[in-house]
Chains A and B, each alone.
Chain A
Amino acid sequence: MPDVVSHNRKESWFYTDIVKDHFFNPRKFMHTDDEGNFQYNALGLVGSPACGDAMKIWLQIDLATEQIGDCRWQTFGCASAIASTSMLAEMITENGGMKLDNALKLRPQDIMERLGGLPNRKIHCSVLGDKALLSAINDYFRRTNQLDRVKVEGARLIDKVLKITDHDIEEAVLDGADTLEKVQAKTKVGTGDRSCLPEVEQLIRFYKEKYFGV
């Protein structure tokens, strides 16, 4: 397994200098204090802390040109996950902002290439970035009533016992369930497998922000 090491090999660093730079100096992340101040019209989330990586991305899309004017993100994950999101943010906003059609063509390999490579076992970390982007762009299509342009995202199983997915939680929140208790009243989520409850609460918070801005 040819892990990436720094080219001078003086430090036992497993990542390229670019990865290191983006990890220690992440670009365009949503600082907790800025939440609520950033104007956005698209919001996406993928992953969960239980899987080891979670990413959330806010986009500011120009309605006329469909260019991504600005963005913010938050990532829970290892160094490559953080660096990949930071690089993605740079790529979609540089040169006046990437057009949505081009952004939808972004592949994990493109992010990896710009990072100068990732260690083999870390490649999966860069995959979440374009999924988060897709989820946000879909959100934009829904908000602007362009449902024909929405690309299908697979549902993710949250409660393994009752087979409840993130889409089920989303529907419950859309139906007005704004607390864990109310979502449980609608879906029974977590009654068979309590270990998914932290994640359910996380999702409720996210969908409330996405649809109701709170």
Chain B
Amino acid sequence: MSKIYLDHAATTYLDPRVFEVMKSHMLEDDFGNPSSFHSAGKHAKEAVDEARAKVARILNCRSIEIIFTSGGTESNNLAILGLYSAHKDRGNHLISNTIEHHSVLHPLEYLEKKQGARVTLLDVDKYGQVQVDKILSALTPETLLVSVMYANNEIGTINHLHEIAKTIHDFRQGLGRKQSEPPFFHTDACQAAGALDLDVKKLGIDLMTINSAKIYGPKGVGALYVKGGIKLQPLIFGGGQESGLRGGTENIPGVVGFSTALELAQAEKNDENMRLCALRDYAVRELLKIPKSRLNGHPIERLPNNINISFLDIEGEAMILYLDADGIYTSTGSACTSGSLDPSHVILGIGLPYEAAHGSLRLSLGRKTTRDDIDRVLQALPGIVEKLRSISPVRVEMKHYR
């Protein structure tokens, strides 16, 4: 029985075209350190420069505004901690929302508990979107940063970044401040990078996190876009690499692979989005025929590859393991798989009760997903839900989940 991988939001396989490009930078003729003064070093430096230029072209920014990092988590940490340290003489207020990734929430929590920051975590609406008027009423002259994810990793909901950016820019202008002064706007675009437009000028972004391992690139590499003129305090000190913002010898095969993966994903995104949306909508339509099920997240403004459904009265981990036994790999925001006892903070964040958070299932589609794969899920899942419900003592009424 062939295996069906439906966990692309967790991570993706490497695109073979990306691997080909990376290989040439791992072997003998091209292994140098970009900081070295000889030809091997120069080759390596050219490779990094080229990779940086590629990422900059996609984001419509200058090369010097791209900082390569070890991935989305480091980029988010650098954006939040680095920005706070560099600007704390201007204020201590940070704004975000309850359903961000933990690599945003935990640095914020650290700053609040240990560094005297004041953090406002806004509630999102029932679809998981951050409302512009809430941002506006939370902004103060002490606000240093607003961080709102481009698209949510669990429920796929896409935020209206442009409107949020405009609100922040207008507020900044109203204070008579320059663009290099707070408040700044950061977005975690890890989940969006393979599907949405990343033009930072059009979106109005000051800092943007992107990650390679979710766009068919290698793991352990990502980038942070930082608009020119915005000061950051580095988290990693060393040999002055990445404009002094991140020490350490560059991960050459990594950044080369990452930039190639980003270029390919962006070039192919329109066709791929259309294909995935059709598959997604077909799957959602059929899955919602299962009694006592509910789609989490926005019905339309969601990532083309994201399906998140709660099946009431059963627990997510049990569902995942039954699917796993059928060769179908999925995930959940449920307590048990994540290793913590708390159910998904995202499902709770959109206002659903604990009972729904425990029964959520995420299917995230990708390049290799076919209609046949979806049909196999549709064949397997109703029986699994029925079996688990038959051994469950819980009967919660649907009215609590609307």
Q: Which residues of A contact B (CB under 8 A)?
A: 23-24, 26, 29-32, 45, 49-56, 73-82, 121-122, 124-125, 195, 197-199, 201-202, 205-206
Chain B proximity of A88: nearest CB distance (Å)? 14
> With the chains together, A31 CA to B391 CA distance in Å?
6
Contact check, A82 vs B325: say whether CB atoms are below 8 A apart: no
CB of B339 within 8 A of CB of A50, answer no
Q: Is the CB of A197 within 8 A of B400?
A: yes
Q: Across the interface, which residues of A come within 8 angstroms of B339, CB to CB? A: 121
Digitize B314-337: 1 where CB-to-A-CB distance is under 8 Å, 0 elsewhere: 111110011001000000001110
Question: Are A75 and B391 also in contact (CB < 8 A) when A49-B358, A121-B339 are?
Answer: yes
Interface pairs A-B: 4 shortest CB-CB: A74-B393, A56-B393, A78-B317, A50-B354
Cβ-defined contact, B318 with A77, below 8 A:
yes
Task: From B335, B354, B393, name the one whose CB has the most chain A CB atoms within 10 angstroms.
Answer: B393
Q: How far is the CA of A55 from the CA of B322 in the complex (A)?
A: 20
Contact with A52, one of B322, B341, B389, B391 (Cβ below 8 angstroms): B341
Q: Which residues of A sit under 8 angstroms from B389, Cβ to Cβ?
A: 32
A45 to B394, CA, bound (A): 11
Contact of A79 with B317 in the complex, beta carbons under 8 Å: yes
Q: List, in ascending order, chain A residues with CB within 8 A of B334's CB.
A: 52, 78
Contact check, B395 vs A202: say whether CB atoms are below 8 A apart.
Answer: yes
**Beta-carbon nearest neighbor of A124 in chain B:** B341
Interface residue? B397 (CB, 8 A): yes
Q: Does B343 contact A (CB under 8 A)?
A: yes
Chain A residues, Cβ within 8 Å of B343: 52
When A50-B355, A52-B358, A121-B339 are in contact, do A75 and B321 touch as well, CB less than 8 Å? no
> Per-position contact with A for B339-355: 1 when CB-CB < 8 Å, else 0?
10101000000000111
Among A23, A30, A54, A73, the residue within 8 A (CB) of B318 is A23
Q: Is there an interface contact between A50 and B397, defined as CB atoms closer than 8 Å?
A: no
Docked-complex contact B355 and A82, CB < 8 angstroms:
no
* Any A CB within 8 A of the CB of B390: yes
Least CB distance from A1 to B in Å reads 9
Which DSSP category, helix, strand, loop or mixed, fits chain A's interface?
helix
Are A55 and B393 within 8 A (Cβ)?
yes
Q: How many residues belonging to B are interface residues under a CB distance threshold of 8 Å?
A: 29
Per-residue A-contact encoding for B79-92, CB less than 8 Å = 1, 0 else: 00000000000000
Closest residue of A by beta carbon distance from B400: A198
Whole-angstrom distance from the CB of A209 to the nearest CB of chain B?
A: 10
Q: How far is the CA of A75 from the CA of B343 in the complex (A)?
A: 18
| Residues of B276-324 whose CB lies within 8 A of A | 313-318, 321-322
Chain A residue at minimum C-beta to C-beta distance from B351: A195
Closest to B329 in A: A12
A158 to B394, CA, bound (A): 16
- In angstroms, Cα B317 to Cα A124, docked, is 15
Q: Supply 11 A–B pairs (Cβ within 8 Å), ascending by A.
A: A23-B318, A24-B325, A49-B394, A50-B354, A73-B391, A75-B391, A77-B315, A78-B317, A78-B335, A82-B391, A121-B336
Q: Is the CB of B392 within 8 A of A75?
A: yes
Q: Which chain B residues border A49 with CB–CB below 8 Å?
A: 313, 315, 354-355, 358, 394, 396
In the complex, A53 Cα to B313 Cα: how many Å? 11
Q: Using known A-B contacts A31-B390, A201-B397, determine if residue A52 contacts B315 with beta carbons closer than 8 Å.
A: yes
Which residues of chain A have C-beta atoms less than 8 A from B358's C-beta?
49-50, 52
B392 touches A76 (CB 8 A): yes
Task: Evaluate contact between B395 and A205: CB separation under 8 angstroms.
Answer: yes
User: Quick one: closest B residue to A79, CB to CB?
Assistant: B321
Bound form: Cα–Cα A80–B317 in Å:
10
A201 to B353, CA, bound (A): 14
Instruction: Tell me the complex Cα distance, A26–B315, Å.
Output: 16
Residues in chain A near residue B396, CB distance under 8 A: 49, 198, 201-202
In this complex, what residue of A is CB-closest to B322?
A: A24
Instruction: List 17 additional A-B contacts (Cβ < 8 Å) besides A52-B343, A74-B392, A77-B318.
Output: A24-B322, A49-B358, A50-B355, A52-B334, A52-B341, A54-B394, A74-B391, A78-B335, A79-B318, A81-B315, A82-B318, A82-B391, A122-B336, A125-B336, A195-B353, A202-B394, A206-B393
Interface string of B25-48 (1 = CB under 8 A from A): 000000000000000000000000
A75 surroundings in chain B (CB, below 8 A): 391-393
Q: Which residues of A contact B391 (CB under 8 A)?
A: 26, 29-31, 73-75, 82
Contact pick for A50, options B336, B353, B393, CB 8 Å: B353
In angstroms, Cα B358 to Cα A51, docked, is 9
Cβ of B226 to closest chain A Cβ, rounded Å? 37
Cα distance A205–B313 when bound, in Å? 15
Q: CA of A78 to CA of B337 in the docked complex: distance in angstroms?
A: 9
- Nearest residue (CB) in B for A132 is B393
Which residue of chain A lies nearest to B359 when distances are taken between CB atoms in the complex? A49
Q: How far is the CA of A130 from the CA of B82 in the complex (A)?
A: 50
A183 to chain B, nearest CB (A): 15
Which residues of B have CB within 8 Å of A205?
395
Q: Which A residues touch B392, using CB under 8 A?
A: 54, 74-76
Check B321–A32 contact: CB distance below 8 A: no
Report the Cα distance A199→B314, complex, angstroms: 14
Minimum CB–CB distance from A156 to chain B (whole Å) comes to: 14
Per the bound structure, the CA–CA distance linking A197 and B401 in Å amounts to: 12
